[in-house]
Structure 1
Amino acid sequence: MDILESVKMATTTLVANKLRSSLTMLGIIIGNASVIAMVGIGQGTQKLATEQFESLGTNVLFIIPGNQDAQRNRGEIPKTLVLADAQAIANLVPSISEVAPQIQTRQPVTYSNKNTNTQIIGATPEFLTVRSFDMATGRFISELDLQQSNQVVVLGADLASKLFGDRNPIGERIRIKNISFSVIGVTLPKGSSFGNNQDDTAFIPLTTVANRIVGRTSPYGVEISFISVSAKNAESLGAAEFQVTNLLRLRHKIINEDDFTVRNQKDTLQIANTVTGALTMMLAAIAGISLLVGGIGVMNIMLVSVTERTQEIGLRKAIGATQGDILFQFLIEAIILSAVGGIAGTLLGVGSISLISLLTPLKAAVSPVVIIVAVSVSGGIGLFFGVVPARRAAKLDPIVALRSA
């Protein structure tokens, strides 16, 4: 029998039984849509994690006070890092380009009748480069501001909007912990990083924070919250981590366990990508079960169809159709059901991903390869699960079939 003729007959049969065909495809549609949506969400999660790590700066090491056990226990983090440590790293470690120590605290911020409680970062001029921030207007903290402990402040984009609306805040004065500060700049929007809004932040000179806001709480110098270190390039990141660790161990006279933690941005990103990759595979596997269930549904409905179409099968065999013709006919029907269901499921899945990207910060996306694989798998499932009913139809005795009719 001609292939085109078989396809035409199969299509005519399926269109004539719209409800049965639609219910048969439903499992495939849901399965395909689930696979594509889950893979898209997983890939979107990976992309979001990568963007958030990159927003912290490129080729960056983070030096945090306290060892990992202390951080896991979430107790009081020891005051083990001081400004002199950052200065020593800048002067003695050859594989790094810039060092940005910082002090973090939360304080009330007031302008006119507007009040908010926000993150205050005591920073140095190097912070702008190391952490990949850019200025929208005005300037950032200078060396002179540090030396003189000037009462100047740079506002994050969201904080500036919250306090001043559409007005230009440069030259205005705000109060932080009831101390007056002059606004000298506003940063470009940076976005959130791991739940922390980097735009709802006020940056003031590190020395001003130490002297006027939090006070000196360490007997060894100006206590800092952590140190960001920018390596010269990606290849020197490992060497920078090794050299910084050895230098701080010498400075802190450590023999056994470190009282600080050095976190490599790339290693952390790799771990995050591994976790999100495994999550994507798990979600795809769970959604793939829907495809399997859809294939079983195709087989069940096709078996029912064989019973309902006994007279048709008997008549076709009586006028010369071979077992191969009948087998091919039912296989074509199963493949069409699965392929059309796969395409409809793909459109539903892509639509769901677009909706998720539109309504949430998660920029979910899926590659064309995943779509092609999903449609191919759904077609293959139709072929696989269509074999049993097709063989059953092909083996029907025409005389018995005509009598049963």
Structure 2
Amino acid sequence: MASKLPLADTVGMALSTLKANRLRSLLTMLGIVIGNASVITLVGVGRGAQNLAEDQLSSLGANVLFVVPGSNDTRRQGVAFPRTLVLDDATAIAAQVPSVKRVAPQISANEVVQAGARSTSASISGVTPAFLPVRSFEVARGRFISSEDEQSAKTVVVIGPDLRDKLFPSGAAVGQSIRIRDQRFNVIGVMEPKGAVFGSNQDENAYIPLTTMVSRLTGRDPTYGVSLSFISVEAKDEQSTGPAKFQITNLLRQRHRILRKDDFAVRSQKDALTIVGTITGGLTLMLGAIGGVSLLVGGIGIMNIMLVSVSERTEEIGLRKALGARSSDVLRQFLVESLVLASIGGVIGTAVGLGTVTAVAFFSPLPAAIGASTILVTVGLSGSIGLFFGVVPARRAAMLDPIVALRSL
């Protein structure tokens, strides 16, 4: 009985065969290369989107809550928010909720802003001095809105750096004036860059005293009084956000005399992170599945090429068996060839994917990233696919009758 061929000899013969057919081997690996590169790239971009969203949410502050008008149903349906949140609500939260440190009510509206011959659209926010510490904003030049500005309803404005660049590209903005609805506002400060949150560029905003916003731009609602866009609430610390959310909810239910459905919502950074994590996690999983389909296509390509190879190498297989090679030796050789093709293709595809992820992170604001575990799993998956799809051609080669195979010589 013939002895079992050593594994080292089997690997050497497989490599020699693949080396002798370089072009075919490269074309066979191409499907795995594309599949692995797709998985690495898509998962990296998906995780980058998740990292970007989490970074933007972290900039809001770990112990900041947002009280917004409207129920969950109105937000899901995309209808206009009812004017259910008023300035008195913000005052009550500040005075009656023990877990709260500061409260910053806000009214926002999109307006055309002019400076000389230049004009642009910007979000104008009426805020109080508490806005700065609650939202962790900083002033780069000049100063922010003071209590005196708010009490006197002064026509002063603090602008974001991007808005400054649009309106005053060649000079300092502090001390200049801009016009909002044909009303003159003195620029008293320029904010530090803050970046975008959920696609909204915070650096293009302008901030004026809340009292000025009411008296000059929005006015009072005859039924509700001063209607707010939302209220930013800073809890005493991160551990106080849960109690603060509970206390604010109960307080507003009492104030609004709610029996069933809330006409407001209280959201924390943790809530937003959970939602974002669920969405981006599902997106990453979907993108990974798309890349996985590419790997399966590459595996099918390996199987088809190896089946063709078995047909072309019938004489070789018959001669080896006639000289004493066992069916298991032939089986192992073809499995090793499939494994080598898939593994090398997986390594090359991983390198291509990592290069693509690096390029995305370098040339775009998306912090695309990929973990070592994903790389190991992807390379291992490509090798497994090579073995799985190599079984059929390997079994066909192993089951060839040497007498029938030698007749084709």
Residue equivalent to 1:263: 267
Distance 1:191 1:89 in 2: 29
Gaps of 5+ in 1: none
Identity of aligned residues (%): 57
3-state SS of paired residue (1:199): helix
1:121-140 to structure 2, matched below 5 A, reads: 121-140=125-144
1:299-378 to structure 2, matched below 5 A, reads: 299-378=303-382
* Length, aligned pairs only: 405
1:348: Cα distance to partner?
Answer: 2.1
Q: 2:34 aligns with which of 24, 30, 36?
A: 30
Compared CA separation, residues 75 and 294, structure 1 to 2 (3 A): closer
8 Å CA contact 1:58, 1:130 repeated in 2 = no
Distance 2:260 2:403 in 1: 90
Residue equivalent to 2:123: 119
Residue equivalent to 2:218: 214
With normalisation by structure 1, the TM-score equals 0.93
Amino acid of the residue matched to residue 155 of structure 2?
Answer: Q
Amino acid of the residue matched to residue 298 of structure 1?
Answer: I
Q: 1:231 aligns with which of 235, 238, 241?
A: 235
8 Å CA contact 1:82, 1:220 repeated in 2 = yes
Residue equivalent to 2:105: 101
Residue equivalent to 1:160: 164
Residue equivalent to 1:81: 85
Is the aligned partner of 1:248 residue 2:252? yes
8 Å CA contact 2:83, 2:224 repeated in 1 = no
Distance 1:156 1:247 in 2: 34
Compared CA separation, residues 286 and 73, structure 1 to 2 (3 A): closer
Amino acid of the residue matched to residue 282 of structure 1?
Answer: M
1:76: Cα distance to partner?
Answer: 4.3
Q: 2:203 aligns with which of 199, 206, 212?
A: 199
Q: Per-residue displacement from partner, 1:338-389 (whole Å, max 9, x unpaired)?
A: 0011112112222232333344433222111111101111111112222222
Residue equivalent to 1:177: 181
Amino acid of the residue matched to residue 136 of structure 1?
Answer: A
8 Å CA contact 1:58, 1:230 repeated in 2 = no
Distance 1:302 1:67 in 2: 61
8 Å CA contact 1:106, 1:118 repeated in 2 = yes
8 Å CA contact 1:59, 1:266 repeated in 2 = no
Distance 2:69 2:273 in 1: 21
8 Å CA contact 1:82, 1:223 repeated in 2 = yes
Q: Per-residue displacement from partner, 1:210-269 (whole Å, max 9, x unpaired)?
A: 112222224454322110112223322221111111111222333343332222331232
Amino acid of the residue matched to residue 124 of structure 1?
Answer: T
Distance 2:347 2:31 in 1: 13
8 Å CA contact 1:32, 1:375 repeated in 2 = yes
Distance 2:6 2:236 in 1: 68
Moved more, 192-201 or 324-333: 324-333
8 Å CA contact 1:35, 1:288 repeated in 2 = yes
Amino acid of the residue matched to residue 386 of structure 1?
Answer: G
1:267-278 to structure 2, matched below 5 A, reads: 267-278=271-282
1:75: Cα distance to partner?
Answer: 4.2
Amino acid of the residue matched to residue 117 of structure 1?
Answer: S
Amino acid of the residue matched to residue 39 of structure 1?
Answer: V
Q: 1:294 aligns with which of 281, 289, 298?
A: 298
8 Å CA contact 1:58, 1:132 repeated in 2 = no
With normalisation by structure 2, the TM-score equals 0.93
Distance 2:299 2:75 in 1: 50
Compared CA separation, residues 217 and 368, structure 1 to 2 (3 A): same
8 Å CA contact 2:176, 2:186 repeated in 1 = yes
